[in-house]
Amino acid sequence: MLQHFQTLKNNFPPVHLAAASICGLILGITLLLLPSENVSATRELRDHKSTPERTSNSLALQFSSAHTQENTPASLNAPEQGSNTDQTPDNWVIYSVQKDDNLTSLFRRAGLSAQDVHYVSQATSKGKELSRLYPGEKLAFQVANGRLNKIKYQVNALKTIVIESLNPGAPHQYQVRTIERTPETRERFTEVSIHNSLFSDAASAGLSDNMIMRFASIFSWDIDFSQDIHNGDSVRIIYNEQFLDGKKIRDGNIVAAQFISQGKTYTAVRYTDSDGRTRYYTPEGHSMRKAFLRMPVDFARISSRFNLSRKHPVLNKIRAHKGVDYAAKTGTPIKASGDGKVIWLGTKGGYGRTIIIEHGGKIQTLYAHMSKYNTQLKKGSRVKQGQTIGYIGSSGLATGPHLHYEFRVDGTHKNPMTVKFPQAEPVASKERLAFRQIANQMMAQLETYSVRYASAQ
Task: Out of 51-55, 174-178, 284-288, 313-317, pick the least confident.
Answer: 51-55
Using a 10 angstrom Cβ sphere, with 0-12 exposed, 13-18 middle and 19 or more buried, the burial of residue 65 is: exposed
The candidate with the shortest Cα–Cα distance to 27, out of 2, 52, 55, 48, is 2
Give the chain's domain count. 3
Domain presence at residue 48: no
Residue 223 falls inside a structural domain:
yes
Q: In 3D, which of 345, 399, 402 has the Cα closest to residue 371?
A: 402
3-class state of residue 270 by DSSP: strand
> Is 160 part of a structural domain of the chain?
yes
Q: Is residue 247 part of a domain?
A: yes
| pLDDT tens for each residue of 244-283 | 999 999 999 999 999 999 889 999 999 999 999 999 999 9
Residue 403 has pLDDT above 80, yes or no: yes
Mean of all residue pLDDT scores within the chain:
80
What pTM was computed for the model? 0.61
The domain that holds 100 is classified in CATH as 3.10.450.350
Q: Are residues 307 and 407 in the same domain?
A: yes
Indicate the DSSP class of residue 318: B
Q: What does the alpha-carbon distance between residue 453 and residue 457 come to, in Å, rounded to a whole number?
A: 7
Residues 143, 92: contact at Cβ < 8 Å? no
> Is residue 265 domain-shared with residue 324, that is, in the same domain?
no
- Residues 435, 367 share a domain: no
**Domain residue limits at 410:** 301-414
Q: What band does 310 get if pLDDT is binned at 50, 70 and 90? A: low
> Which of 154, 180, 206 finishes a domain?
180
Task: Show which of 180, 211, 229 is a domain's final residue.
Answer: 180
- Decide if 406 contacts 413 (C-beta within 8 A): yes
CA separation for the pair 217, 234 (Å, rounded): 16
Same domain for 311 and 278, yes or no, is no
The candidate with the shortest Cα–Cα distance to 256, out of 265, 267, 266, is 267
Residues 326 and 374 in one domain: yes
Check residues 155 and 39 and name the one with the higher pLDDT.
Answer: 155
Those residues with Cβ within 8 angstroms of residue 264's Cβ, 6 or more apart along the chain or in another chain = none
Burial of 313 (0-12, 13-18, 19+ CB in 10 A): middle
The pLDDT of residue 62: 39
**Domain match, 345 and 240 both:** no
In this structure, the answer to whether residues 310 and 406 fall within a common structural domain is: yes
Judge whether 263 lies within some domain: yes
Q: Which residue has the higher pLDDT, 303 or 63?
A: 303
Same domain, 339 and 395: yes
Is the domain of 217 the same as that of 242? yes
Same domain? For 147 and 218 the reply is: no
